[in-house]
Amino acid sequence: MRIAFVSSAVPRHCGIATFTADLRAAIVAADPTVHCRAAAIDEPDSVRKYATDVHWRIRQGDAGSYAAAAQAISRSSADVVNLQHEFGLYGLWHDGAYEDHLRVFLEHCTKPVVTTLHTVPPEPEPWMRDVVRAASERSDAIVVMATTAARLLREVYGIARLPVVIEHGMPAIEPKGRDRLKRQFALEDRQILCTFGLVDPRKGLEYVVEAMPMVLARHPSALYLIVGQTHPELVKREGERYRESLVATAGRVGVGGRVRFVNEYLTQRQIVEYLQATDVYVTPYLDPNQITSGTLSYALGAGKAIVSTPYLHALEALADDRGVLVPFRDARAIAAAVSSILDQPTLRRTLETNAYEYGRTKTWPVIGSRVLALMQQVLLARGAAAAPAHAGAAPASIGVPPR
């Protein structure tokens, strides 16, 4: 199979770029005969040096660039397109209206397309609903990463076609080595709280910082690690103002020495090592509508005790005692939940075991095989649709439309 991936791409510091790189690696691991090429989406003012498998470039915000890439892929030997969608990557706001470049791409692409929706707002504005409906109509299959998202597509967006639920992948991590890795990071004898990922105000990290005095009152060895660089788009707009505000908050509440920043863009291996050293993982995110979180998926895969606000992905992934949910913007509740886990080794072990058992069914090797199987199914369905009627119909499970 020859797959053309359409997405942002590493080395762009973007969660979807990282996701796509992990997915591609998982698909190739599932079938080493697969040949992958990519169309990389670049910001208007960026020129990156990509790996040789990037054959096409798309200038973000330029409708003609999406059309040209679609036409080039259509002329290529690719069998199927795997497209990763997020509103900001595939459109722009112009004179108060959203200009949908996903529709432009799909209108000019003649290859079968599997589109993954990374964002499915539960209360969409009309233009959001239109974008998602157009994607469903013009893609051969739609993938979402949570059953909640599939329900929203049916009940809120009015999409009758059944999407395929394939969860966010996570590394295959052995939940061991905590003490060894604490020594490696010179954090022995510390109880580690951690949040990783690109730093920006939507993460709500200030509420964990404000919780630290209450945590330290019961657990004096606690340390909060904020692991990751500031989001590059935020840096362009306002520099390091948010990170500096976190430092100021830590100083104001008297925990400057107990909040540590690892201001680096980490490899997957480094992320895993920090997770393995962690005692409690915290996602204090502020958007209740967030349907996907790669960092939460990684923490589950690492078998961590997790404290999280109840955004959509967390509500689903942390059910059945796989984590502890706390209200949004509530430092006191975060402190109580973290302290409870640190107070009770049995509770921590239960949360860790439940998280790991859930995560092991969604590791990248498993997810890669499922996505590969879906694309094979799409190709068979497209072939069947092109054959005479008596040759058979497309599989109903992926709802392939005529194109």
Residue 265's pLDDT is 81
Phi/psi of residue 264, nearest 5 degrees:
-140, 155
Tell whether the torsion through CA atoms of 337, 343, 345 and 347 is positive or negative.
Answer: negative
- Structural domain contains residue 401: no
What's the confidence (pLDDT) of residue 173?
86
- Residues 306, 380 share a domain: no
**In this structure, are residues 298 and 171 in contact, taking their beta carbons and an 8 Å threshold?**
yes
Asked whether residue 233 falls in the same domain as residue 352, the answer is yes
pLDDT, tens only, 236-266? 899 999 999 999 999 999 999 999 999 988 8
CA-CA distance, 153 to 129, in Å (whole number)?
9
Shared-domain flag, residues 261 and 124: no
Residue 91 shares a structural domain with residue 187: no
Q: What is the mean pLDDT of each run of 10 residues along the chain (403 residues)?
A: 97 92 96 97 88 95 97 98 96 88 98 97 94 96 96 95 94 87 94 95 97 98 96 89 97 96 88 95 96 92 96 95 98 98 97 95 95 97 69 44 42
8 Å CB contact between 260 and 222 = no
Instruction: Check: CB of residue 365 under 8 Å from CB of residue 301.
Output: no
Taking a C-beta distance cutoff of 8 angstroms, is the pair 303, 356 a contact? yes
The answer to whether position 399 is within a domain reads: no
Any domain includes 402: no
In 3D space, the residue among 326, 261, 311, 285 whose CA is nearest the CA of residue 203 turns out to be 285
Is 149 inside a domain boundary? yes
Domain assignment present for residue 92? The answer is yes
Q: Judge whether 96 and 68 are in contact, CB under 8 Å.
A: no
Is there a single domain that holds both residue 200 and residue 294? yes
Residue 403 included in any domain: no
Q: Do 397 and 164 form a contact (C-beta atoms < 8 A)? A: yes
Q: Are 84 and 10 in contact (CB under 8 A)?
A: no
Please tell me whether the peptide bond between 11 and the residue prior to it is cis, using omega within 30 degrees of 0. yes
Per-residue pLDDT at 267:
84
Domain count of the fold of the chain? 2
Look at residue 397 and tell me if it is in a domain. no
Structure pTM? 0.86
On whether both 227 and 322 belong to a single domain, the answer is yes
Domain range enclosing 215: 178-361
Enter the tokens of residue 197.
Answer: 């990922």
CATH number at residue 189: 3.40.50.2000
pLDDT value of residue 400: 44
Q: Is residue 396 part of a domain?
A: no
Give the whole-angstrom CA distance, residue 176 versus residue 275: 10
- Bridge partners of 82, per DSSP, are 5, 114
pLDDT tens for 57-112 read: 999 999 999 999 999 999 999 999 999 999 999 999 887 789 999 999 999 999 99
Count the neighbouring beta carbons within 10 Å of the beta carbon of residue 286.
16
364 vs 371: CA distance, rounded Å? 10
Same domain, 267 and 376: no
Residues 215 and 350 in one domain: yes
User: 11 and 159: one domain?
Assistant: yes
Q: 267 and 148, same structural domain?
A: no
The alpha-carbon radius of gyration of the chain (Å, integer) is 22
- For residue 76, give both structure tokens: 């290529």
In this structure, what token pair is assigned to residue 342? 């640190």
- Residue 361 has what pLDDT? 92
Q: Is the dihedral of CA 227, 174, 277, 340 positive or negative?
A: positive
Instruction: Tell whether 219 and 340 lie within a shared domain.
Output: yes
181 touches 276 (CB < 8 A): yes
- Tell me, yes or no, whether 148 and 200 share the same domain: no
